[in-house]
């Protein structure tokens, strides 16, 4: 089942779009099945669950942290995490830098920008994002590398709304890249799109989609 689902999703991906298999709340066996079918990038959103899976599963997996990350938990994932998708404060960025330095690593991060209508989601507003980049402290943090933006669209059936939000995200991504990262080719990732909207996200220039339900089925919280 899982390998078929995975192949079905992969068959719909545009060239160059990376698939993050979102495995939160799913048991190790399910991840192992996806691994055996060739998947190497997995996304988790709880630190304890992630570290347990990291310890048990093959070491060539690229682990992405996709959820809201608390500063006091950064130390547990800094030694091995490949990409942190949802950095939403400078304070968090500083702590990632500190823990990455301790671990002797440079950790790749995405800045989460809030584009949806819902008010509960985390993330910088577009204005806060620009303000933070202008302030420039991030440039002094030698052990973090900002490689792009992460966004979530409103949870709605209204495709026009979703597309509009993704279009806006892409425009902002391009202008941020030009203004702050023109000399850094590593700033190239736009993480957007989940099971319900990744086809639209790809059409709007997402480079990385985070798909859970379509691969692993519904989650039992």
Between 113 and 141, CB nearer to ligand PLP: 113
CB of 67 to ligand PLP, least distance (A): 5
CB of 30 to ligand PLP, least distance (A): 13
Report the 10 Å Cβ neighbour count for 143.
Answer: 17
Cα separation of 89 and 111, whole Å? 9
CB of 214 to ligand PLP, least distance (A): 6
CB of 36 to ligand PLP, least distance (A): 21
Q: Copy the structure tokens of residue 134.
A: 């202008």
* Chain centroid, CA 126 distance in Å: 17
Q: Count Cα neighbours of 141 within 13 Å in the Cβ-side half-sphere.
A: 23
Residues 37-66 as b or e (16 or more Cβ within 10 Å = b): bebebbbbbbbeebbebbeebeeebebbbb
Q: Which spans of this chain sit near ligand PLP (rule: CB under 6 A)?
A: 22, 24, 45, 66-67, 194-196, 210-213
Report the 10 Å Cβ neighbour count for 16.
Answer: 8
CB 84 within 8 A of CB 108: yes
Cα separation of 171 and 192, whole Å? 13
CB of 114 to ligand PLP, least distance (A): 12
CB 115 within 8 A of CB 167: no
Between 61 and 192, CB nearer to ligand PLP: 192
Between 133 and 209, CB nearer to ligand PLP: 209
Q: Tokens 């404060």 identify what position?
A: 89
Between 26 and 180, CB nearer to ligand PLP: 26
Between 4 and 175, CB nearer to ligand PLP: 4
Between 23 and 99, CB nearer to ligand PLP: 23
CB of 216 to ligand PLP, least distance (A): 8
């Amino acid at each position: 089942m899982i390998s078929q689902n995975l192949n079905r999703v992969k068959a719909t991906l545009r060239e160059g779009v990376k698939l993050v298999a979102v495995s939160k709340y799913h048991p190790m066996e399910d991840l192992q099945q996806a691994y055996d079918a060739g998947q190497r990038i997995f996304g988790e959103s709880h630190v304890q669950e992630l570290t347990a899976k990291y310890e048990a599963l093959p070491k060539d997996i690229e682990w992405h942290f996709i959820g809201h990350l608390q500063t006091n938990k950064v130390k547990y994932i800094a030694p091995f995490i490949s990409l942190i998708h949802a950095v939403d404060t400078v304070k968090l960025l500083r702590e990632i830098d500190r823990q990455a330095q301790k671990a002797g690593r440079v950790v790749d991060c995405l800045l989460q920008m809030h584009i949806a209508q819902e008010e509960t989601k985390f993330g910088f507003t577009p204005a806060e994002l620009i303000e933070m980049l202008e302030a420039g402290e991030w440039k002094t943090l030698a052990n973090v590398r900002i490689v792009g933006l992460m966004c979530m669209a409103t949870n709605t059936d209204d495709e026009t709304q979703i597309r509009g939000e993704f279009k806006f995200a892409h425009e902002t991504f391009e202008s941020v890249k030009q203004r702050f990262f023109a000399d850094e080719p590593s700033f190239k990732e736009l993480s957007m799109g989940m099971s319900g909207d990744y086809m639209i996200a790809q059409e709007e220039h997402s480079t990385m989609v985070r798909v859970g339900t379509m691969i692993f089925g519904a989650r039992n919280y």
